[in-house]
Amino acid sequence: MKLEIRHRIEIADGTIAAAGFDTAGQVVFLTESGKVYRYIKSTKQFHHLFSATTAFAFEDGGFDCKAKSSIYAQYGAVAVVNDFGRNGLVFIESDRQVLNLFRKDYHADISKFPLTFFEKDEHFHVIYPNDWNHIQIMDLKTRQILTAEKSLIEQNAEQRYREFYKNDFSRSLPWPPPYDYFYGALSVSNDQKRFLSTGWAWGSSDNYRVYDIDDFLSNGRIQDISIGHWEHENRAACWMGNDRVAIAIYPFEVDEGEEGQYEIAIYKIADSEAVLERTISTGDLNVVKSKMVFWETRNCFVVISEVAGLALIHSDGEILFHDPNLIADDFDVDSGSVLQIERDSINLYEFN
């Protein structure tokens, strides 16, 4: 398998802060001057979408165009967020409106800004944060916040609290306590019915959880499916279809001087639990500190990493491709294109 460059996009408007693919396979990007563009590959044309700079006054200065950021583009909306900041913006293309998103600052500097889009009942929605343990769902067509009345208390919290204290509350704090979880980066299953949070919990540890979208919208309490917890590494994870989640792990304790094996653990998500189905060894290829997506067309994981470069790993563990020197930034599962940012240009590669 070979990787060849197909497009080189030269940017005249300054340094690129973030770039990615939209659902049509076109390129969207944010510059450090605050402008957001879409590049149409077939015509080689740039379309200015909106500006991430704002005249509104925010207590922290607002969206920082030069900070580490991410860009998301789906369903006629484009969002830019400061990964470890408090601010984000959503541009709705149908009426060219920009919505400002803002979360509180409690450990925002180590909690990736949680945001994703999904479609339900022919309406497009965004999931976004208000605080470390509080996310909302908004209908982008009506602008209604559908979870405005949702509690921050977990399902069956009272029962678990009674069991923990054995009904002796003489030294207890007020209860039930609020949801004790830091949301992280979000992603939605292929059938748009669940979303995954790659967040963390006190300890501290990576703590990854799945939520049913219908339940999150209709249930006044929070009900999650905990997949597991590991050392706090912000490890890679991705969906495999509708009901499986793959998570990068380094599971073995080894003696001094020995090396362990990196693995990808695959979990089946049932109605109320996550069950480990199998693990795939990747040897000494570090998949933990990476971005990972599953490419169904080739039945393989695409791993993007500053540590390990670019790799394709078949679902049976075979390394199909590995270039340790190619530091990519995004991958489009529909076209099979790899995106790489080079300060003021973008390279697009394809496999053949």
Three-state secondary structure string covering 65-101: CCCCEEEEEECCEEEEEECCCCEEEEEECCCCEEEEE
Please report the pLDDT score of residue 102 as a whole number: 95
pLDDT in tens, the chain (352 residues): 899 999 999 998 889 999 999 999 999 999 999 999 999 999 999 999 999 987 566 777 899 999 999 999 998 999 999 999 999 999 999 999 999 999 999 999 999 999 999 999 999 999 999 999 999 999 999 999 999 999 999 999 999 888 888 878 777 788 898 999 999 999 999 999 999 999 999 989 999 999 999 999 999 999 999 999 999 999 999 999 999 999 999 976 555 555 678 999 999 999 899 999 999 999 999 999 999 999 999 999 999 999 999 999 999 999 999 999 999 999 999 999 999 999 999 999 999 8
Residues contacting residue 191 through CB under 8 Å, at least 6 positions apart: 242
Neighbours of 201 (CB within 10 A): 16
Please say whether the beta carbons of 104 and 134 come within 8 A: no
Q: What is the pLDDT of residue 173?
A: 82
Question: CATH number of the domain that 168 lies in?
Answer: 2.130.10.10
- Looking at residue 259, its pLDDT comes to 63
Q: Distance of alpha carbon 331 from its chain centroid, rounded? A: 13
pLDDT at 175: 87
Q: Which of 5, 10, 6 is nearest to 343 (CA)?
A: 10
Report the Cα 175 to chain-centroid distance in Å.
Answer: 32
Contacts of 89 (CB under 8 A, 6+ apart): 50, 52, 54, 63, 79, 80, 81, 98, 99, 100, 101
Element (H, E) at 154: none
For residues 52 and 34, is the Cβ–Cβ distance under 8 A?
Answer: yes
Alpha helices in 16-156 (DSSP H): none
Q: Both tokens of residue 48?
A: 């200015």
- Domain coverage including residue 273: 3-351
pTM value surpassing 0.85 = yes
Beta strands 27-31 and 262-269, pairing class: unpaired
114, 185 in Cβ contact below 8 A? yes
Q: Tell me, what's the pLDDT at 180? A: 96
Q: How many domains does the chain have?
A: 1
Dihedral sign of CA atoms 31, 130, 241, 239 in order: positive
Report the alpha-carbon distance of residue 321 to residue 298 in Å, rounded. Answer: 12
Specify the DSSP class assigned to residue 316.
Answer: T
Q: Where are the alpha helices (DSSP H) in the chain?
A: 157-165, 213-218
- Tokens 């075979």 belong to residue: 318
What integer pLDDT is reported at residue 255 of this predicted model?
A: 54
